[in-house]
Chains A and B, each alone.
Chain A
Amino acid sequence: MAEGRVVGIDLGTTNSLVAYMQGDAPVVIPGVDGSNLVPSIVALDPIPASGGRPTVTVGNSARRVLIETPERVIYSVKRLMGRSLDEVRDELKFFPFRLADDVEAGEVPRVQLGELRFTPPEISAYILRQLKRNAERFFGEPVTQAVITVPAYFNDAQRQATKDAGRMAGLEVLRLVNEPTAAALAYGLDRAKEGTIAVYDLGGGTFDISILKLRDGIFEVQSTNGDTHLGGDDIDNLLLAIALDEIHSEHGVDLRTQPGAVQGLRKDAIDAKISLSSESSAKFDIELPNGDRYQREIPREVFEQLIEPVLNRTAGPCKQALTDAGITPEQIDEVVLVGGSTRIPSVRRLVDDIFHLSARGKKPHTELNPDEVVALGAAVQADILAGASKTTEEMLLLDVTPLSLGIEALGGVVARIIPRNSTIPASATEHFTTGVDGQTNVAIHVLQGERELAADCRSLARFDLKGIPPMTAGLPRIEVKFLIDADGILHVSAREQRSGKAAEIEVKATYGLTDEQVETMILDSFDHAEEDFAKRLLIEARNEAETILAKVEQARMSPAWGALRGEEQSAIGAAGDRLAAVKAGDDLTAIREATLALDRATHRLAELMMDAAVTTAIRGKTMTAAGEDLGEEVTAPHPMAPAEFK
């Protein structure tokens, strides 16, 4: 068995990260662009004229495509993971993606991306593959095992979909860890903490609250609650809706029909949101296609009023989690803030209020970057699983299942068999029988949720127990064992006790992707085989060389090229020729060095081009220009105003 490294991955709605344990501290592995955050954006490049498979780009480079050709890009795919067709249809009201038109009920929905169709796990697999490659580039060796984080409130289907995505990306997912719990691990690492902590995690698309008890290195989750449809995206949508409405009513321009323009505006809304965390007001200043300008000032008070209903939706889950843990807010010793949205001052006030913090002279923990803390915690868990580490050998995470598990009984009512907040792994045994003489099948409907009628819970799976020996009705005694594993995923096994036919009862889940389907979706079959690793590095290096050569060729047409000195131009030409010459060869080092040399030679050119783009953006803020500067400042940790919290 491979005893390689185990990395920790935060597969986020907005950004994804990969981290590992460097000695006794977790660190984030940067991408080739030096950025720790890989935006969870996947773009399908145009199919090459020569035919063949189109390439897929992930992260910052995919972001540009979002404005130019939105129909070739997908983001926030996490919101679609493990969801049924109807749920995805609901989701897509807020996103510019299209469902593939040939999807049938009961199938895993597929999203149209350019000419192709992908299931949500496949899209996520592209993001995971990018992170895997970043890690492999960093270590110079294959990475095949990972811990991936999921929102604590993810249900069984969403967890299974995440695991499937890992497999498609060529990763053995050793464990799914809940995001708030991972954050607690990251915080609890440096000192031997004791006590009760609450983790408030408001991310891009999901909200989680977890309450943990720390003792002797054991992180025991007491309760968890949340909302898988609540996050920064909702705040963006509110701002976006205001802008779209006002542009329509005041300027008679309906931007809703122009996906590219909407994406540009969304970017402006995100900028406004971010700056409102440190500034007392933000501005929309947008040039419209008809030449008008849409100018709008948003004072912080207005913003806070606007988002209050969204934020207040986090209070209920917090109170429920406290009740379920059997404690009062005063018994919470520490609160940890996770997720970019917790930078918003009114979020911090709400948290202070819920947990009575300042009244007790306490402050929430924000020492670790809220964008990175989950990935860091995943790296800690990865280290625990890999074993053989002094730092984490005493640590153990005991997590819980967020939702009650029940089975539908006759009459549509739900019989609860595993209550929510049970420590996982957890199990329950139920007995079933037949209703008709000679019946050989029994259907079991498993649900997740807290409501009493099956129709109000989320249908998790329908299992058919097949191969029951024919007997008089009511005589077979089928023992069905339900087991929720440490990933929060349900396993069902059955045996007929009267005849002792243990193994012959087939249990078939009727949701999600089948094993065979996942197998066919594995991105690169050779991602698995380590002997192909060198070959793959070579192919990647060649691709990278192609990309940079193409970019330089394009740049020759730009005004920036003309601004270069003659010797700069010829140096670029020479470096380009050198790379073109070696790239077809098998010498990996030579290709890499030549690529690096060309990259260095074009540094100033890139700078000039960026300057030009930014200037255009500031001057006119046209939609295309806004596309050029889409990027770093959105993802970079934005400055907090310390004065606010003194």
Chain B
Amino acid sequence: MLKVLDSAVPIACWSCAVAHNESTLFCPHCSKIQPPPGADYYSVFSLEPRLTLDLGMLEHQFHKLSRKLHPDRFARATPEEKDWSLADTALLNDAYRTLRDPIRRTEYLLKLHGAEIGEEHSGKGRTDPSRVPADLLEEVFDLNMQLEEMRAAKKMGEEDPDLKQSLTEAKKKFDGLLDDVDNDLRTQWTAWDDGDASARSAAQKTMLALLDRRRYLDNLVRDVNETLGAN
């Protein structure tokens, strides 16, 4: 479940002893670095937990916080401050890595809301077969066969232009499908960000299905790119 963003329990700054909010990285009073807060990734950037994010703003914040927190700024500080700088910067970097990527961000926020994502929920029960449409499965399998053929041909130093042509077309098609999924996801973001509880729950279900479909397509596009790119 989503952690409470603003802890009600104030703690005293180690340096100036003025009480501050637990989720802060710096003492608001004396500006000294604080031990890593048990904060979620959004509150590291003082952001509302939303799926739609201003990435330019996020990068700006990331740079601003990096300048203050990075271990390079604490090379000659006390051992405690060094440790905190390391831990705080790791938290900052982990948060930035997750939030700036639309897919990781979506997975993260849905997980905070109790969703089980990816391999974590497998094995716990039969997966819903309706989530992988049969026609997509056929297509995926055929494409994989073509990829294998092309790789084998390449190993022998030959290249079948027809095969390459058909792979290039397949790549276009799957790139397009991937774009469609991403567009659908973005639509759901808005629904999730702005919707009430029931709208959220519907959006969450749709997004989980979209994320599964995306993983499929993503693997394919990656394989096609690798095979085509290794020229």
Report which A residues bind B (CB closer than 8 A). Answer: 1, 3, 174-175, 215-216, 218, 220, 316, 319, 323, 381, 384-387, 396-398, 422-428, 483-486
Contacts and interface: CB of A to CB of B under 8 A. Distances in A.
Contact of B72 (A3, A385, A423): A385
B93 A216 contact: no
Most chain B beta-carbon contacts within 10 A, residue among A215, A385, A386:
A385
B124 interface: no
Given A175-B75, A387-B76, A424 B93 contact: yes
Contact of B90 (A323, A386, A427): A427
Given A397-B72, A426-B97, A218 B90 contact: no
Interface in B203-231: 225, 229-230
8 contacts: A175-B75, A316-B230, A385-B76, A422-B93, A424-B93, A426-B94, A483-B86, A486-B86
A321 to B, nearest CB: 13
Contacts of A174: 75
B93 A215 contact: no
B172 interface: no
B71 interface: yes
B70 A396 contact: yes
A425 B76 contact: no
A382 B96 CA distance: 26
Nearest to A220: B63
B89 interface: yes
Contacts of A386: 75-76
A426 B70 contact: no
A3 B70 contact: no
A381 B87 CA distance: 21
A486 B75 CA distance: 11
A484 B71 CA distance: 12
A218 B63 contact: yes
A125 to B, nearest CB: 22
A316 B76 CA distance: 40
B91 A398 contact: no
A490 to B, nearest CB: 12
Given A3-B76, A396-B70, A397-B72, A427 B63 contact: no
Interface in B57-113: 63, 66-67, 70-73, 75-76, 86-87, 89-91, 93-94, 96-97
Interface residues of B, number: 21
Contact of B63 (A175, A215, A385, A425): A215
Contacts of B63: 215-216, 218, 220
Contacts of A427: 87, 90-91, 94
Interface of B: 63, 66-67, 70-73, 75-76, 86-87, 89-91, 93-94, 96-97, 225, 229-230
User: Which of A1, A174, A423 has most chain B Cβ within 10 Å?
Assistant: A423
A116 to B, nearest CB: 36
Contacts of A215: 63
Given A218-B63, A386-B75, A422 B97 contact: yes
A182 B97 CA distance: 23
Contacts of A384: 72
Contacts of B71: 425, 485-486
B96 A423 contact: yes
Given A423-B96, A423-B97, A426-B93, A398 B76 contact: no
Given A385-B75, A422-B97, A423-B97, A396 B86 contact: no
Nearest to B63: A218
A423 to B, nearest CB: 4
B72 A425 contact: no
Contacts of B75: 174-175, 385-387
A386 B76 CA distance: 7
Contacts of A216: 63
Given A397-B72, A425-B90, A426-B93, 19 more contacts: A175-B75, A218-B67, A316-B230, A385-B75, A387-B76, A396-B66, A396-B70, A398-B70, A422-B97, A423-B96, A423-B97, A425-B89, A425-B93, A426-B90, A427-B87, A427-B90, A427-B91, A483-B87, A486-B72
Nearest to B71: A486
B90 A483 contact: yes
A606 to B, nearest CB: 44
A384 B67 CA distance: 12
B91 to A, nearest CB: 7
A306 to B, nearest CB: 20
A305 B28 CA distance: 64
Contacts of B225: 323
A396 B90 contact: no
Nearest to A424: B93
Contacts of A425: 71, 86-87, 89-90, 93
A3 B75 CA distance: 11
Contacts of B86: 425, 483, 485-486
A422 B90 CA distance: 10
A562 to B, nearest CB: 58
Contacts of B89: 425, 486
Contacts of A175: 72, 75
Nearest to A397: B72
Contacts of B90: 425-427, 483-484
Shortest Cβ-Cβ A-B pairs, 4 listed: A385-B75, A425-B90, A427-B90, A423-B93
A218 B62 CA distance: 11
A205 to B, nearest CB: 26
A397 B66 CA distance: 10
A550 B57 CA distance: 68
B141 to A, nearest CB: 20
Nearest to A215: B63
A323 B63 CA distance: 23
A427 B225 CA distance: 30
A524 to B, nearest CB: 25
Given A425-B93, A427-B91, A427-B94, A218 B66 contact: yes
Contacts of A1: 76
A483 B63 CA distance: 21
Contacts of B76: 1, 3, 385-387
Contacts of B93: 422-426
Nearest to B91: A427
A485 B93 CA distance: 11
Contacts of B229: 319, 323
Nearest to A421: B97
A423 B96 CA distance: 9
A315 to B, nearest CB: 10
Nearest to A491: B86
Contacts of A381: 72
A493 B89 CA distance: 17
Nearest to B75: A385
B72 to A, nearest CB: 6
A7 to B, nearest CB: 14
A396 B72 contact: yes
A384 B72 CA distance: 7
A220 B63 CA distance: 9
A1 B225 CA distance: 54
Contacts of A396: 66-67, 70, 72
Contacts of A424: 93
A223 to B, nearest CB: 13
A67 B159 CA distance: 50
Contacts of A323: 225, 229
A485 B225 CA distance: 33
Nearest to A1: B76
A381 B70 CA distance: 13
A55 to B, nearest CB: 34
Question: Which residue of B71, B75, B86 has the most chain A CB atoms within 10 A of its CB atom?
Answer: B75
